[in-house]
A = this chain, B = another copy of it.
Amino acid sequence: MTASNPKPREKASKSPLDRLQSLLSDDMASVNAMIMARMESGVPMIPQLAGYLIAAGGKRIRPLMTLAATALYGGDMVRAHRLAAAVEFIHTATLLHDDVVDDSDERRGQKSANAVFGNEASVLVGDFLFSRAFQLMVEDGNLAVLKTLSDASAIIAEGEVLQLSLQGNIIMTLDNYLEVIKGKTAALFAAACEVGPLISSDAPNAAKIMCEYGMNLGIAFQIADDVLDYNADRAKLGKAVGDDFREGKLTAPVIMALSAANDEERTFWIRTMEQKEQMESDLVRAQAILTRHGALNKGLELARSYAQKAREALAEAPDSIFRATLDDLALYAVDRDH
């Protein structure tokens, strides 16, 4: 590649997520139109609240996965639009309920929906969006899709309850943690990917390939996210860090640092995470302990191992620009700065 060939170079500088967005921009526009149309209701508070969160953006990565997986298997993109909207509605419903559960004030760089509209409305509008998701799936009428997404919804809820029951308990193991993130994040990534071949391919292995890709991608993504939450460089960019620390959520880096902690460090984690007695300087101290144990790098290594599993699963899928970009996305899930 030379300077006289600027186009691929420009392309290469875009993230795989941006490249997928470009490849599927018309389809994503249809998905967004479907989302806007189907969050309508005769009860004005519903589109107001849902629209508030949805308009705030987010990367729409899950519906994008459904579109990419459908395109990869040469499926009907019109069907994929509806199902991608269903996937995003399930995700939005879980965000609304998560923010109530975590008592969050912020989401996507603005006040959270529950902070503006109240917890009550967030719970109920979440229920509405969840129901809407199932209505969209029923309209499509594929029972395998309905099974995949209702199974995923149950696993998401289980992951969230497990996280709640383990919150602020420093005996949480890495296995517990992986179970939590499989539920709360990876299950919907897996289902979003699996929907593509389910509506596109008779190949017996296709759904399994994309489910494994999505599951491992989701795990990699979430571990990397949890590492980034302690990344001091990110704070310099004005991005939020330390949310998990403040909420007493044990994630991969802390669990790894705990396994090698001395008495003083152990006392520190018990005070800050279990008893949630935190001082201004504690986040910096937590970051220093994590660095001392190489816990952030160990976390990224773990994330990379799942990204690698995702790529291995994907290698069985048909060769195409979509496969290549999804392959890049697995690497990018770990080595990104936001």
Q: Which A residues have a C-beta under 8 Å from some C-beta of B?
A: 41-46, 93-94, 97, 100-101, 119-121, 123-128, 130-132, 134-135, 137-138, 141, 143, 146-147, 150-151, 153-154, 156-158, 160-162, 164-165
Contacts and interface: CB of A to CB of B under 8 A. Distances in A.
Contacts of A42: 158
Contact of A147 (B93, B127, B138, B147): B138
Contact of A131 (B44, B132, B153): B153
Contacts of A132: 154
A213 to B, nearest CB: 23
Contacts of A130: 127, 130, 153
B43 A165 contact: yes
9 contacts: A41-B161, A43-B158, A121-B161, A124-B157, A125-B161, A126-B127, A130-B130, A132-B154, A143-B143
B45 A124 contact: no
A320 B46 CA distance: 43
Given A143-B138, A147-B138, A121 B164 contact: yes
A154 B94 CA distance: 16
Contacts of A143: 138, 141, 143
A37 to B, nearest CB: 14
Contacts of A134: 134, 146, 150, 153
4 closest Cβ contacts across the A-B interface?
A128-B157, A131-B153, A131-B154, A134-B150
A127 B96 CA distance: 12
Count of this chain's copies in the oligomeric assembly: 2
A148 B77 CA distance: 26
A134 B157 CA distance: 13
Given A42-B158, A121-B161, 4 more contacts: A101-B119, A101-B124, A124-B160, A130-B130
A231 B94 CA distance: 40
A97 B127 contact: yes
Contacts of A41: 158, 161
B146 A131 contact: no
A101 B93 CA distance: 16
A121 B147 CA distance: 25
A158 B44 CA distance: 10
Contacts of A156: 127, 131
Contacts of A125: 157, 161
B153 A127 contact: yes
Contact of A123 (B44, B97, B165): B97
Contact of A160 (B97, B127, B146, B165): B127
A211 B86 CA distance: 27
A146 B138 contact: yes
A100 B126 CA distance: 13
A49 to B, nearest CB: 8
B131 A150 contact: yes
A128 B43 contact: no
Contacts of A100: 119-120, 123
A151 B135 contact: yes
A321 B250 CA distance: 59
